[in-house]
Amino acid sequence: MTQEEKKSLITRWTLAIVFMGLFWGLIWVITGGRYHSNVSGIHWFLDMHDQSFVKSQREDTTTLADVKVSLLKGADQNEVFGGPGSSMRVPPEGTVPRGYDPYPYSQAEIDQAGAALKNPLPLTAAVLERGQKEYEVYCSVCHGHLGEGDGPVVPRMTAPPSLITGAAKDWQDGKIFHMITMGRGNMLPYAAQIRPADRWAIVHYVRVLQKKGASN
Please report, as ranges, the residues that interact with ligand HEC according to CB under 6 A.
138-139, 141-143, 153, 160-161, 163, 166-168, 176, 179-180, 184-187, 190, 202, 206
Q: How far is the CB of 142 from ligand HEC (least distance, A)?
A: 3
By beta-carbon proximity to ligand HEC, the closer residue of 87 and 114 is 114
Q: How far is the CB of 158 from ligand HEC (least distance, A)?
A: 6
143 in Cβ contact with 149 (< 8 Å): yes
Q: Which residue is nearest to ligand HEC (CB)?
A: 185
Q: Residue 122: helix, strand or coil by DSSP?
A: coil
What separation in angstroms does the CA of 103 have from each of 149, 171, 177, 186, 206? 27, 19, 11, 21, 22
Cα–Cα nearest to 143, from 118, 117, 169, 124: 169
Q: How far is the CB of 177 from ligand HEC (least distance, A)?
A: 9
State the Cα–Cα distance between residues 132 and 134, nearest whole angstrom.
6
Q: How far is the CB of 97 from ligand HEC (least distance, A)?
A: 22
By beta-carbon proximity to ligand HEC, the closer residue of 43 and 133 is 133
